[in-house]
Amino acid sequence: MSFPQNRMRRMRQSDALRALVRETTLEPGDLIYPLFICPGSGVRNPISSMPGVFNLSVDEAVKEAEEAASLGIGGLLLFGLPAEKDETGTGAWIDDGIVQQALRALRQTPAAKKLVMITDVCLCEYTSHGHCGIVNKSGSDFAIDNDPTVEILAKTAVSHARAGADVVAPSDMMDGRVAAIRSALDAAGFGMTPILSYASKFFSAFYGPFREAADSAPQFGDRRGYQMDGANLREAMREIELDLEEGADMILMKPSMPYLDVIRSARDRFDVPMGAYQVSGEYSMLQAAFERGWLDRDRATLESLIGIRRAGAEFIVTYFAKAAAKLLG
């Protein structure tokens, strides 16, 4: 049957009809809100490259969590800014680390029952050199020592679970870290703590603003030796496959918008829960356009998130979580 009998516009005539046949939906519960936790009390330091995002002391983070829960947001992703850094990232795993403090405080609030508490497991925020692992440096050359780094990551994951994390999310891209974390969690009595693996994390220009937020810019070199080459789709599928074999319960794709094809390929291939991270550069890029009046803030915010959902992500880590939840509510 062809035109004029077949008229696609018939189903676009009203809001009710469009809603009835809508293929992709977005709800506040699909969103994960990242928080950057820092020492102190009453601290709410704005991040210049990320309008509307702050470094928060634990008490302020609790307020953000309560608002997120009231909006129906699905969960939080916690990052820590320690009071002190060293070459091995000790602040990541110690019992009184900043993320551990935040988890214990959040667990005392009603919001904890409504939000999934996810913790980023990496060392870049905690190391004095800004890399995601133990550095072996010789002159101007350096390498990341994979296996010693994995041991620290496993210790960090256990400390987060002990402090109250619902999910631990390794983002370092070290080989074998999922298996090590699963083994360490099980041995410590946290066999029911899921692992959300950043299984496909690319070396990307879109992480720039995050490095201001987390004070994690590398002091030398870059991270292309352990994060993935953005040109490689098949390698991404292999990374995901290996992490799932090692015991990952969920996977997280990062970045989102420049890598929608990777999200789609992973969704088609792997039958596991999958999220995507709309990273700092994606957020800041859109915010810059909003401030100049080049894009409609509300429409572009939701359209960017719907696109990620349509590509196959079941949940989205986004700095737009509160704004989007208000629009969706």
pLDDT band at 217 (very low <50, low <70, confident <90, very high): confident
**Rounded distance between C-alpha atoms, residue 181 and residue 150, angstroms:** 8
The single-letter DSSP state of residue 112 is G
The strand pair at 31-37 and 75-80 is best described as parallel
**Mean pLDDT in the chain?**
95
Flag whether 21 is in a domain.
no
| pLDDT attached to residue 221 | 84
Cα 35 from chain centre = 10
Count how many domains the chain has: 1
| Percent of the chain residues topping a pLDDT of 90 | 90
Residue 166 scores a pLDDT above 70: yes
Q: Per-residue pLDDT averaged across 19-47, rounded?
A: 97
Q: Please check whether residue 13 lies inside any domain of the structure.
A: no
pLDDT average, residue stretch 284-301 = 98
Q: Is residue 286 part of a domain?
A: yes
Residue-wise pLDDT for 170-199, tens only, equals 999 999 999 999 999 999 999 999 999 999
Helix (H, G, I), strand (E, B) or coil at 250: strand
Residue 256 located in a structural domain: yes
| Exposed/middle/buried for residue 162 (C-beta within 10 Å: 0-12, 13-18, 19+) | middle
φ and ψ at residue 8, rounded to 5 degrees: -65, -25
CATH of the domain at 287: 3.20.20.70
pTM higher than 0.85 for the full model? yes
Write down the catalytic residue from 63, 254, 322, 326: 254
Q: Which one of 85, 114, 155, 201 is the catalytic residue? A: 201
How many other C-beta atoms can be found within 10 angstroms of the C-beta atom of residue 52? 12
pLDDT band at 139 (very low <50, low <70, confident <90, very high): low
Is residue 214 pLDDT above 90, yes or no? Answer: no
The range of the structural domain enclosing residue 172 comes to 26-328
Which DSSP string corresponds to 48-67? TTSTT-EEE-HHHHHHHHHH
Question: In the block, which residue shows the tokens 């992703």?
Answer: 77
Report pLDDT for 38.
Answer: 97
Residue 81 covered by a domain: yes
Per-residue tokens: 63: 């307020």
36 strand-pairing partners: 55, 79
Q: Two tokens at 197?
A: 């693996």
Q: Given a cut of 90, is residue 219 above it in pLDDT?
A: no
Q: Tell me whether residue 30 is in a domain.
A: yes
> Which of 45, 49, 31 lies closest to 210, judged by CA?
49
76-128: per-residue pLDDT in tens?
A: 999 999 999 999 999 999 999 999 999 999 999 998 899 999 999 999 999 99
Residue 217: inside a domain: yes
Size of the chain, expressed as the number of residues it contains: 329
**Catalytic residue status for 201:** yes
- Report if residue 15 sits inside a domain: no
Indicate if 254 belongs to the active site.
yes
